[in-house]
Amino acid sequence: MAISFTVNGEKKTLDVDPKTPLLWALRDTLGLTGTKFGCGMNRCGACTVHVDGQAKRSCVTRVSSVEGKEITTIEGLSPDGTHPLQISWQKINVPQCGYCQPGQIMKAAALLSETPEPSDADIDKAMAANICRCGTYQRVRGAIHEAAAEMKKA
């Protein structure tokens, strides 16, 4: 059964098992490997993407459930890697191994679109969904504040 949806602005039609998690459809079928596999059970947030603008964990999102929807992955967050979070992440030198960071950034982007000036508590509440084993949390907080400030200026 073909399933159609939009990924990073491009219409895609896939012929995969409808139960396939969106994560594996993105990674294996569409080659968008920026979205990461960490736990496969809705626990770590490494697989976070936007579905119609909302942060969703793609490892537990069936591909059939996104029929007709708009998906944004880290590859499509900005056309040239200049989303304020991508800039602040570099400025504050957030990543260590970097593996969880696409998920962190996608989750943070959804936070900023709902709460443009988040407090530390807002950040903790939203970002507790995402595990970073390297422990970059202090810088994640800093980089979200930094991006929020830049977006306010703009």
Partner 1 sequence: MNYFDKDTQKSPFKVSRRGVLQAGLGLGASGLVLGFRPGRTLAKPSSAATDAQPAFAPNLFVEIEETGKVRLIVHRTEMGQGVRTSLPMMLADELEVDIDQVELVQAVGDKKYGNQNTDGSTSIRLNWEPLRQAGAAAREMLVQAAAKKWGVAADQCRAEQGKVIGPDGELTYGELAVLAAREEVPDKPELKDPSDYRYIGKKVTGLDVPDMVQGKSTYGMDVRLPGMVYASIERSPTIAGKLGSFDPAPAMAVRGVQKVLTLEARSQPMNTNASVAVVADSTWNAMEGRKALEIEWDSGGKTLESSDDYRAKLEALVDGEGNAVRSEGDWAAARDGAAKVLEARYHGPYLVHAPMEPLAATALVKDGKCELWVPAQDPQTARQRVAALLDMPLENVTVNVTFLGGGFGRKSKPDFIIEAASIAQQLEGTPVKLVWSREDEVKHGFYRAQNMQKLQAAVDGEGGLVGWRHHTAFPTIISTFMAGATDPNPFEVGMGATNLPYAVPNVQVEASGLTSDLRIGWLRSVCNTFHAHAVNCFMDELAEDAGKDPVDYRLAMLGEDRKLKFSPREDPYPLETARLRRVIERTAENASWGSKLADGMGHGFAAHFSFLSYVGMALKASVEEGKVKVHEVDCVLDCGTAISPDSVVAQMEGAVAFGLSMALYGEITVRDGVVRQSNFHNYPMLRINEMPKVNVEILQTGNPPSGVGEPGVPPVAPALANALYPVTGKRFRDLPIAPQLKA
- What is the Cα gyration radius of the chain? 15
Q: How far is the CB of 83 from partner 1 (least distance, A)?
A: 9
What is the C-alpha separation between 62 and 49, in angstroms, rounded? 13
CB of 46 to partner 1, least distance (A): 6
Residue 46: how many other CB atoms lie within 10 Å: 26
Interacting residues with partner 1 (CB under 8 A): 16-17, 20-21, 24, 27-29, 31-41, 43-44, 46, 73-75, 77, 81, 85-86, 89-91, 93-102, 105, 123-125, 127-128, 130-141
Nearer to partner 1, 50 or 101 (CB): 101
Minimum distance from CB of 20 to partner 1 (Å)?
A: 5
User: Which residues are 57's β-sheet partners?
Assistant: 48
Q: How far is the C-alpha of 106 from the C-alpha of 52, rounded, in Å?
A: 13
Q: How far is the CB of 15 from partner 1 (least distance, A)?
A: 11
| Shorter beta-carbon distance to partner 1: residue 80 or 154 | 80
Instruction: Please say whether the beta carbons of 140 and 107 come within 8 A.
Output: no
For the sheet containing 10-15, what is the strand order?
10-15, 2-7, 70-72, 48-51, 54-57
